[in-house]
Chains A and B, each alone.
Chain A
Amino acid sequence: MNQLQNFTKGFLKENPILVMILGTCPTLATTSSMINGLGMGIATTFVLLGSNTVISMMKNVIPDKVRIPAFIVVIATFVTIVDLVMQAYVPSLYETLGIFIPLIVVNCIVLGRAEAFASKNTVWSSVVDGAGMGLGFTAALGVLGAIREILGSGSIAGLKFISGDGILVFVLAPGAFLALGYLIAVVNKINKA
Chain B
Amino acid sequence: MVLSLTLISLGASAALGFVYELTKEPIEMTLLNKKLDAIKQVVPEFTNNPNDDMFRLPTGDGDSLEVYPARNGDKVVGYAVQSYTNNGFSGYISFMVGFTPDGTIYNVSVLEQKETPGLGTKMVPEGTPEKPEFKDQFMGKNPADFTLKVKKDGGQVDAITAATISSRAFCDGVQRAYNTFEKGDLK
**Residues on A close to B: CB < 8 A?**
32, 58, 61-63, 65-66, 69-70, 73-74, 76-77, 80-81, 84-85, 87-89, 91, 95, 152-153, 165, 168, 171-172
Residues of A contacting B31 with CB < 8 Å? 91
Bound: A153/B117 CA distance, A? 9
Partner of A32, one of B4, B26, B30, B117: B117
Known A88-B30, A171-B117: A73·B20 in contact at CB below 8 Å: no
Residues of B contacting A: mostly: helix
Contact B23 A91 (CB under 8 A): no
Residues of A contacting B16 with CB < 8 Å? 77, 80-81
**Residues on B close to A: CB < 8 A?**
1, 4-5, 8-9, 12, 15-16, 19-20, 23, 26-27, 30-31, 34, 112, 116-118
Contact A66 B117 (CB under 8 A): no
Residues of A contacting B118 with CB < 8 Å? 165, 168, 171
Residues of A contacting B19 with CB < 8 Å? 80-81, 84-85
Residues of B contacting A171 with CB < 8 Å? 117-118
Shortest Cβ distance from A94 into B: residue: B30
Bound: A58/B4 CA distance, A? 11
Beyond the given A80-B16, A172-B116, please list 17 additional residue pairs across the A-B interface where CB-CB is below 8 A.
Answer: A32-B117, A58-B8, A73-B5, A73-B9, A73-B12, A76-B12, A77-B12, A77-B15, A77-B16, A81-B16, A81-B19, A84-B20, A88-B26, A88-B27, A89-B26, A152-B117, A153-B117
